[in-house]
Amino acid sequence: MSRWSVWGGLAALIIASSSAAFAGTPRTTAIPTTQRAVVAAQAFKPDDPVMKSPQAAKVLTPTMVSATFENLPALKAFAELSKQTGYVIEPYNNGGGNQTRYGNVTATINNQPFWFAVREICTRGNVSLYYYGDDDPDKIQLMPSNYGQQHMMKAAASIQGPYMTIVTNLDRVNNVLMATPEKTDRKVNLQIHTFAEPKARPEQYAYQPVIDEAVDDNGNSMLPDASEPRQMNMQSSRGVSFYGYVSLKYPTENPGKRIARIRGHIDAKVQLATEPWEIADPLKAKEQSKTIGGKKYTFKSVIKSSNGQFTVELITHRGESEDQQTFQQTAYNSQPVMKLIDGGNGSYQSYSSGGHGDGEAVTRQFTFVRRGGGGGGGGGGKAGAVEPTKLLIELASSTQDVAIPFELVDLPLP
């Protein structure tokens, strides 16, 4: 088996089309470092069934941004973006706003979707995005562009309404089975990250996107074979970003040098509204239940371990209209928004740490590790850290099934 790879940040760069040029706005100097983006202000047509609900139409309509930056530090440009949109945008705790000097930004943005503006600032200011959202799922967290996914924001992108999809990796796999050595099976694997505006964040999403069109620059179809197995399970979203992976068919005759277009969608369940639930003094709080969106939830406990970590136990009960299998899949794959608050303004990293249940109720455990107090103070996982004063739980009260579209053009063909 052989493998050829093209990483999103290291792929051949498209000099002729940079992101600001795509918007038709003036620029003092060309910046030949950004691959092409397909930009559509509206992801869904007004007559699309998904837009019939006023609540869904509001969530799925992008936040539009206008701004002019003249040699402005990137973090100040993001502060202006935060002011316009109301979204929390700040450096990731461990990514280090002080580890790398972000660049200055010169750009004019005229009534463009939010993610277009984010990409403009990132590509000019040596900034990338953190893509896990483990301490606050609605927060947009910044990192130096050489951290993690190398120069991810400069890779080919699709901006459709409140969503941005970015190519992070392309590789080709050649496989020969010894039972049929004369045949070589060739596939191109595509990895993507999709970012959602916080207001349009999916509660669940499909790990494998649906490919509606894939063609190389010689006109060859690269659509996956219909016989290829498809991962249908939904995954929980941990923040504004979620990951996708799919295999495309490598052309068997006269393959091109570029992938001309990949068009598809990601099946998702987007939360249209949420309801907060506050548990005061959670270490001492008694078991209590609440019904949200027609479903009953029970807070069981918060337990502090000897190493200073905290484990939250939350029970989800099956709704009257849910079949048992769907209920269990949803209960195990959903990631409720939970925040521990303490008197030291601490920041917590959280993760799912287990669960059990049956067709009627599922108990999930979530572990919280304190990163430190406000201003970078200590804490971590030490037993002497400040104890939480409240637990905030945010659960979806209304959701909508959505096919999040994307279109990627002019990609390297490995």
Average pLDDT, the chain: 84
pLDDT of residue 235: 73
Model pLDDT for residues 262-307, shown as the tens digit of each residue:
999 999 999 999 999 999 999 999 999 999 988 999 999 999 998 8
Quote the CA–CA distance of 265 and 278 in Å, as a whole number: 36
Query: pLDDT at residue 333 above 90?
Result: no
Model pLDDT for residues 311-324, shown as the tens digit of each residue:
999 999 998 888 88
CB-CB contact of 59 with 43 (8 Å): no
What pTM was estimated for this model as a whole? Answer: 0.84
Alpha-carbon distance values, 48 to 20, 347, 403 (Å): 29, 41, 11
Residue 251 phi, psi dihedral angles, 5° rounding: -60, 135
Greatest pairwise CA separation for the chain in angstroms: 69
Helices (H) and strands (E) in the chain, counts: 5, 22
Domain spans of the chain, in order of start: 2-271+403-412, 284-386
